[in-house]
Structure 1
């Protein structure tokens, strides 16, 4: 793996982690049960983001950017 692909994948994973932490904070502020769901079942946090789009929009865009960087780095 070349250094550019490694860097893209690393920054992609960092963006995915940041988006999950943002969703964790937003979901705990909104509702305790969604916060626990986000904490213990991280993929379901993006379902919460669909219901609370106005609050979680930035976190979803971080996740999309992270997935794109990981996909570009892997190819």
Structure 2
């Protein structure tokens, strides 16, 4: 793995972590149960984000960007 791949994968992982934290904040503010589901089951949290794009659109977009960076670094 060269340096550019490592950088892209690190930035992608950081973007995914930040998007999950943003999604946790939004889901806790909206409903306690969704916040708990998002904490314990991150795929369920992103499902919530897809259905509530008006509130969680930024975190979903950041997660897509993170996955794209990881894919480019692969």
TM-score, L = length of structure 1: 0.96
How well do the aligned residues superpose, as a CA RMSD in angstroms? 0.5
Q: Which portions of structure 1, spanning 4 or more consecutive aligned residues, are displaced by more than 4 angstroms?
A: none
1:35 and 2:35 aligned? yes
After TM superposition, give the deviation of residue 51 of structure 1 in Å: 1.7
SS in 1 for 2:37: helix
User: CA separation in 2, counterparts of 1:31 and 1:21?
Assistant: 15
Q: Number of aligned residue pairs: give it.
A: 74
Name stretches of at least 5 consecutive residues in structure 2 with no aligned partner: none
Name stretches of at least 5 consecutive residues in structure 1 with no aligned partner: none
User: CA separation in 1, counterparts of 2:2 and 2:44?
Assistant: 33
Aligned equivalent of 2:11: 11
